Amino acid sequence: MSRARFVLFTLFVAALAWTSRARAQSVDIRAAVDNDTVEVGDTLIYTLNVSVRGSGEQATDPQPGAHAGFDVLGTSSAPVHMNMNFNGQRSSVDNLTTTWTLRATRTGQFTLGPASAEVGGARRSAGAVRVTVVPRGKAPRRPRSNNPFDPFGGGGTG
């Protein structure tokens, strides 16, 4: 009888550990552009950020999704792994930030994405992003930066 209890207890602890690990994983995936209105020939930065908490799994194989009306000029990915210990509780965060530099090729309203990445064997997608491409000289002016450390924004007392 005690052997059966031990086996049952071991299975219970294993199931509890497995379910708490499954619950502990949190995936946050977001996509954004640096400017939602650009002129034909201008570039924009399309960014996918995937954050995986609690499982130690990493996001892989980032894809921009649909990008009609744009050419891809370049791609850059930056993975980051962080281990944290708060009051004896260990947690981990794996983050993948991927940027695509896109050049607008024609006027119109376009939907980028949805961008996606693979996490734990499953493909996860961010929301799609809307971008408007206007003729040369027709884009609204972007406000200048008030950052005194921005060499191009004109902020500060320079």
Which pLDDT value is given to residue 35? 94
CATH 2.60.40.740 fits 26-134, yes or no: yes
CA distance 84 to 66: 36
Please write the tens of the pLDDT for every residue from 73-100.
999 999 998 888 888 888 889 999 999 9
HSE value, Cβ hemisphere, 13 Å, CA-based, for 69: 20
Please write the tens of the pLDDT for every residue from 23-59.
457 999 999 999 999 999 999 999 999 999 987 789 9
Q: Give one DSSP letter per residue of 86-119, joined into a string.
A: ETTEEEEEEEEEEEEEEEE-S-EEEEE---EEEE
- Residue 108 φ then ψ, to 5°: 140, 180
- Please tell me the pTM assigned to this model: 0.74
Q: Spell out the domain ranges in the chain.
A: 26-134
